[in-house]
Amino acid sequence: MRIALGVEYDGSGYNGWQSQPDMPSVQDALQLALSGVANTPISIAAAGRTDTGVHALEQVVHFDTAVKRPLSAWVRGTNALLPKDIAVLWAHEVTEEFHARFSAQARSYQYVLINRPSRSAVHHDKVGWFHLPLNIDAMREAAQYLLGEHDFSAFRAAECQAKTPIKTLLQLDIQQNGETILINLKANAFLHHMVRNIMGCLIYVGKGKYPPGWVGEVLRGKNRKFAAPTFMANGLYLRHITYDAKWGLPQGTMSARS
């Protein structure tokens, strides 16, 4: 039997999604809780890995088990064993053809940025922060250079394990509400640090260091060293994973949809 789960988490206290020796990870915490419900070891696969400090509104995972449990037990029973900063939103039985990662058609992220002279005390680990005024119109103009299918090598971390740097960025829009700026991104897939590296470049344009067209030059150059530094992880959220409707996943029932 294969079960898919929707999972929400605060990544502040974890060394990213993926299991790593001697470091806390979201994957380890979730596998431990699921194993407690099943009374046998459970191994999970996720739609995508998130970095240290990155959050998720609806990560999707799947696991195989011969143990019979009602779907409600995979939600409530697992949540009872999870730390307070991780929660299962829903559970759904799928066929063995479904794979959380390989069946995904797109991934959506949102970056929440506070733009004011002083940092946020209340939301310090949930938002990014930049102290100088930002030109939102210039950032929006710069964003247009990144839409579509491109070689995103200039926005790729050195340790990225993706087979190809060619990705299709389907959405990159920027909204402002007072001191809060929301950057929404959607792509067929993302490279390691791709969103945070895009953020760094948009910040450079917004503060006036470079004109909007510079982002296009960085993209065409395909060289990471000419791009801006990787921006902080705090405000980054994995928002939604897009799948074909045939899988019948109950997505968006407790989280925002793209």
140 part of a folded domain: yes
**pTM of the predicted protein model:** 0.94
Write out the H or E segment, with its range, that includes residue 197: helix 194-206
Looking at the fold, whether 78 and 92 belong to one and the same domain comes out as yes
- Calculate mean pLDDT across residues 46-57: 95
pLDDT at 255: 40
Last residue of a domain, one of 55, 73, 103: 103
Q: For residue 63, what is the domain's CATH number?
A: 3.30.70.580
Q: How far apart are CA 131 and CA 153, in angstroms?
A: 28
Last residue of a domain, one of 49, 72, 103: 103
pLDDT in tens, 116-134: 999 999 999 999 999 999 9
Encoding tokens for residue 50?
């998130």
252 part of a folded domain: no
27 part of a folded domain: yes
Is the per-residue pLDDT at 22 higher than 90? no
Angle at alpha carbon of residue 128, lines to 141 and 83, rounded to 5°: 135
pLDDT in tens, 195-221: 999 999 999 999 999 999 999 999 999
Looking at the fold, whether 93 and 145 belong to one and the same domain comes out as no
Looking at the fold, whether 220 and 131 belong to one and the same domain comes out as yes
Based on the structure, what is the number of domains in the chain? 2
pLDDT in tens, 215-257: 999 999 999 999 999 999 999 999 999 999 999 999 975 443 3
163 part of a folded domain: yes
Last residue of a domain, one of 103, 122, 144: 103
Q: Domain span at residue 37?
A: 2-103
Is the per-residue pLDDT at 149 higher than 80? yes
Which residues are known to be catalytic? 51
243 part of a folded domain: no
Q: How far apart are CA 192 and CA 188, in angstroms?
A: 14
**For residue 59, which of 93, 78, 33, 86 has the smallest C-alpha distance?**
86
Looking at the fold, whether 33 and 6 belong to one and the same domain comes out as yes
Looking at the fold, whether 99 and 216 belong to one and the same domain comes out as no
Looking at residue 255, the DSSP 8-state letter turns out to be S
- With a CB cutoff of 8 Å and minimum separation 6, the contacts of 187 are 106, 107, 167, 168, 169, 170, 171, 194
Confidence of residue 6 (pLDDT cuts 50, 70, 90): very high
**Pure H helices in 17-129:** 26-38, 71-72, 78-81
82 part of a folded domain: yes
Q: For residue 195, what is the domain's CATH number?
A: 3.30.70.660
258 part of a folded domain: no
Looking at the fold, whether 51 and 168 belong to one and the same domain comes out as no
| Average pLDDT in the chain | 95
Write phi, then psi, for 174 (nearest 5 degrees). Answer: -130, 125
253 part of a folded domain: no
Q: How far apart are CA 65 and CA 196, in angstroms?
A: 36
